[in-house]
A and B are shown apart, each in its own frame.
Chain A
């Protein structure tokens, strides 16, 4: 027999919300010296993360949207839209540590070099010795080709959300022809580059990309000379190197003869990282 009691439900929900408000952790991000405070993941948020991997064939897009909304819900007294993608990556690891566990179990069952089936990687050690040592790339000004002056920076949450809302919402993920595949790869490439452009100045005219919708930004970036595009790609490459460093776990195990084996595994920047 079940009892319907909305008052009881609302009272307990409110109590749980109050309890959850107090379970927080503090963290810092590369783009700022400030200390932030965040709530830990609740069950609903974890379910949403798992759903984002199951429901979406273009899972990166849905994961991005879900994780960004969780950041907005959990980070207290702060507008997260200015957090960069590097800040997000750092927060991603710290949220995992505080919400699930500071030990990340790496599956080694298919690694024939070592005897162990798994390795418990210490994420606190990783944060201390790897994550906290990285510095955020500074803004880059590309002005070698007159009259262009392009300012590059790491995309922030606002840029990501704009891209997701405008472009990925109606994305047709079913690729039927090679032509459609070529189109998708081309679009993804130009979308990625556009995310890193903050503004473009042409002589006296300054175009602030934040004031434009994403389609307009893409139209402008598509017209940039390839030399500038290459410079933007190099800037993106610098970020990639940093993010690779943050997501790489280096550790040692033993082989069947008791010799030390050095191993390297990647932290997946997706929902699977939130498995215990």
Chain B
């Protein structure tokens, strides 16, 4: 049922991904419950789920920079649910549903990293500084350090001193050690590092994913920011997986009367949606038959956000 896989190229690294199963999709929705989900809880659970659905080991997932992480997660979402993000916008009381192409969002992630990679190596005096994008856990522990607003060391892959032939900072050192080493660098170089990171942060802050809709009015009214703020990244993930958990339970309950719960748990969200669709159409047929007028049952799809449309359905 779930042996179908896709191959992804994530900046030269081949990653194989599979469709999510309903039980794990439900876990993601559980972690995203509420207005401000617990960040640590969310990413720890998603890490384990990503390990299950990708060819990456847990330690490799933990070491992914946040862009690679989002690309893989968005792609898993793409093949498991659909390639369209449905966003609900409240425009002065009028609820509008916007359809945002997930592949455009993923392309934006690729573009950000491609742009970043152009300036990843820098020579400051005798120091060679190689930048990298931080991991999600580093962003979570990011220290806002007064004038050094963003913790610069989480953006450093390594710092090499050419004449001493020594690697001053390596990314696998604990953050406190990296900070202690960074503090010994000449101020003029650390200022340059901070300036570069600030420029990247400013560039990211200008990105409004809503603009991918190419709708100037909506782009002005609605902002879907993308930056280093772990809360905003969490919000983005919440939009990738926006189904209503309660509705899903209701649908699951209804469908488990017709099919085995174990079977349903191990089908993909797309398949689950298809079963609901079939069930709904059967209900319709029954209801249209006057002899069955007393057998009307409520549709399990009433509140289940993730409607399965032919154009965007990925079984």
Q: Which residues of A contact B (CB under 8 A)?
A: 1-5, 8-9, 12-13, 15-17, 19-20, 23, 40-47, 50-51, 54, 99-101, 274, 276
Contacts and interface: CB of A to CB of B under 8 A. Distances in A.
A44 B183 contact: yes
A43 B174 contact: no
Contacts, number: 88
Contact of B187 (A13, A16, A40): A40
A2 B184 contact: no
B180 A42 contact: no
A1 B181 contact: no
Contacts of A23: 186
Contacts of B191: 46, 100, 276
Given A1-B62, A43-B186, A47-B147, 9 more contacts: A2-B173, A2-B174, A5-B173, A42-B185, A42-B187, A43-B189, A99-B186, A100-B188, A274-B187
B203 interface: no
A198 B186 CA distance: 38
A63 to B, nearest CB: 13
Nearest to B189: A43
A16 B146 contact: no
B166 A12 contact: yes
Given A15-B164, A42-B187, A54 B146 contact: yes
A13 B184 contact: yes
A50 B184 contact: no
B52 interface: no
Interface of B: 59, 62-63, 145-148, 161, 164, 166-168, 172-175, 177, 180-192, 195
| Interface residues of chain B: helix, strand, loop or mixed (majority) | mixed
Contacts of A40: 186-188
Contact of B173 (A9, A20, A41, A43): A9
Contact of A1 (B63, B166, B177, B188): B63
Nearest to A274: B187
A16 B185 contact: yes
A4 to B, nearest CB: 6
6 contacts: A12-B181, A15-B164, A40-B186, A44-B184, A47-B146, A100-B191
Given A15-B164, A50-B147, A99-B188, A43 B180 contact: no
Contacts of A51: 146
A46 B166 contact: no
A49 to B, nearest CB: 9
A276 B124 CA distance: 15
B138 to A, nearest CB: 10
A115 to B, nearest CB: 25
Contacts of A101: 188
A100 to B, nearest CB: 5
Contacts of A47: 145-148, 183
Nearest to B152: A43
Contacts of A19: 161, 164
